[in-house]
Amino acid sequence: MSGEMQDKKDNRIKSVKRMKEIMTNYYIDAKTAAQNNKKVGWITSGGPVEPLLVMDVIPVYPENHGAMIGASKMGVQLCEKSEEMGYCRDLCSYARSDIAAAPINGGPIGGLPRPDFLICCNNICGTVLKWYEVQARYFNVPLFIFDTPFCHKEITQEAKDYVGAQIVEYITFLEEHCGKKFDYDKAKEVGKLSIQGQRLWQAVLDTTMHKPAPMSAFDAFFHLALIVTLRGTQIAVDYYTELLQEMKERNAHGISAIPNEKYRLLWDNLPVWYKTKWLSETFASHDACLVADTYTTAWCRQLDYLDENDFLKSMIEGYTAIYLNIGVDQMADAVIGMVDKYDVDGLVMHSNRSCKPYSLGQYDIQRIVQKKRNIPSLIIEADMLDERNFSESQILTRIEAFMEIIKNKRK
């Protein structure tokens, strides 16, 4: 069907339905955890979740909550509420909306389940530290900080020793607050499932090397949820096995994400959750598909470091040398790697007011990519959740100008 007009209905990814069921069940389990004598641990998106699963703790992700708030366009309302609470409008909109949702059970799922403790890994930003301090005070629960030193050039031996010591401290913290011993045999199983899930997720993302791509970055933003929230479980492995199969079938039958893919683009930074549909359609109207992104690969980029046979120890590098915790020049190398791998014609960078570690340095990445690969790039000034920072007409004009350059280059 490639090149032909696809029936819009046919084009849809079937696994979406299964995904929604899994996420609904997951949140029902999390919200009824106390009734089932289960503990709930809130954890940052880049945090080491596997030890929580070993301890039968239900991990809950405030950042996933932020994404849901954004996608259901409840961000502005909650951000405004946080401003009434005294939080400055320039702060991260995930943090602001989650902090505002807690006391009023706000947001699309009526608030997150109350945590028994919080696990904050600062490999993604310093903001999560402040955010989790606020929530630890609000809920009056223990906070464990998994401190992963920033790797400007490399992960140092000093940092490895420090993070290694914290893995032991983390396990001790969990044993104390769960009232039981850590099961090292189970840890091996969870580690294997985590690696297996990440391999499958990488394989799913790799299917977009195919021309035309069977899914877009906008699809990846959606299907990402499980590798974040259920990484280390059989559920995630089964789901991504099915999704991979579906993508392979789509490639075999030439079913593509957009009807007439002529131009392939790479997305950088978090999604603009409240405008994914608009952005997707706007680019599609120029026959451009965002075939890959730097964001969703963050949950499988560490596969080189992770070791099935010694998972706990391999978490040191696996959770420290992650994409946002490395220097701008290394990030640029990663972007160039993706430019080549997915054979893209241009780079679309979301300059995200909410995320300084992701956004500061983008101008350098843009210059480096321009110099080494000579492809055009576009910077969209926006925010992942606070719609007040999105100017649709201005962004539309910029996308049109950018697509002109891409099209002219092809001529």
Tell me the site size for other proteins, rule CB under 8 A: 47
Judge whether 142 and 118 are in contact, CB under 8 Å.
yes
Is the link from the previous residue into 103 a cis peptide, with omega within 30 of 0? no
**Of all helices (H) and strands (E), which one includes residue 25?**
helix 15-31
If one asks whether residue 162 binds other proteins (CB under 8 A), the answer comes out as: yes
- Taking residues 114 to 143 in sequence order and writing x for each that binds other proteins by CB under 8 A, - otherwise, the string is --------x--xxx-xxx-xx-xx-----x
Kindly give, in sequence order, each residue whose CB lies less than 8 Å from that of residue 111, ignoring residues fewer than 6 positions away: 101, 102, 104, 105
If one asks whether residue 95 binds other proteins (CB under 8 A), the answer comes out as: yes
If one asks whether residue 158 binds other proteins (CB under 8 A), the answer comes out as: yes
Nearer to other proteins, 22 or 316 (CB): 316
CB of 182 to other proteins, least distance (A): 18
| Interacting residue with other proteins among 90, 179, 309, 393 (CB under 8 A) | 90
Nearer to other proteins, 129 or 235 (CB): 129
Q: Residue 17 and residue 45: Cα distance in Å, rounded?
A: 23
Q: Residue 264 and residue 213: Cα distance in Å, rounded?
A: 9
Nearer to other proteins, 11 or 351 (CB): 351
Judge whether 346 and 263 are in contact, CB under 8 Å.
yes
Q: Residue 237 and residue 298: Cα distance in Å, rounded?
A: 17
If one asks whether residue 321 binds other proteins (CB under 8 A), the answer comes out as: no
Q: Residue 190 and residue 57: Cα distance in Å, rounded?
A: 13
| Interacting residue with other proteins among 363, 391, 401, 409 (CB under 8 A) | 363
Nearer to other proteins, 254 or 361 (CB): 361
Piece of the chain touching other proteins by CB under 8 A; list 64-72, 103-111, 146-154, 199-207: 146-154
Longest dimension (CA), the chain: 67
Nearer to other proteins, 86 or 179 (CB): 86
| Interacting residue with other proteins among 56, 161, 249, 343 (CB under 8 A) | 161
| Interacting residue with other proteins among 216, 302, 359, 377 (CB under 8 A) | 359
| Interacting residue with other proteins among 293, 353, 377, 403 (CB under 8 A) | 353
If one asks whether residue 319 binds other proteins (CB under 8 A), the answer comes out as: no
CA distances from 226 to 162, 346, 405 (A): 30, 29, 37
Q: Provide Rg for the chain, Cα atoms.
A: 21
Q: Residue 304 and residue 318: Cα distance in Å, rounded?
A: 8
| Interacting residue with other proteins among 7, 21, 56, 169 (CB under 8 A) | 169
b/e 233-242 (16+ beta carbons within 10 angstroms → b)? bebbbebbee
| Interacting residue with other proteins among 19, 328, 334, 405 (CB under 8 A) | 328
What are the residues facing 42 on neighbouring strands? 60, 118
What are the residues facing 62 on neighbouring strands? none
If one asks whether residue 238 binds other proteins (CB under 8 A), the answer comes out as: no
Nearer to other proteins, 251 or 294 (CB): 294
| Interacting residue with other proteins among 34, 165, 252, 396 (CB under 8 A) | 165
CB of 149 to other proteins, least distance (A): 5
For residue 247, give the nearest of 310, 291, 299, 204 by alpha carbon: 204
| Interacting residue with other proteins among 175, 361, 390, 407 (CB under 8 A) | 361
Burial of 307 (0-12, 13-18, 19+ CB in 10 A): middle
Length of the chain: 411
Binding site for other proteins (CB under 8 A): 85-88, 90-92, 95, 122, 125-127, 129-131, 133-134, 136-137, 143, 145, 147, 149-150, 152-153, 156, 158-159, 161-162, 165-166, 169, 327-329, 351, 353, 356-357, 359-364
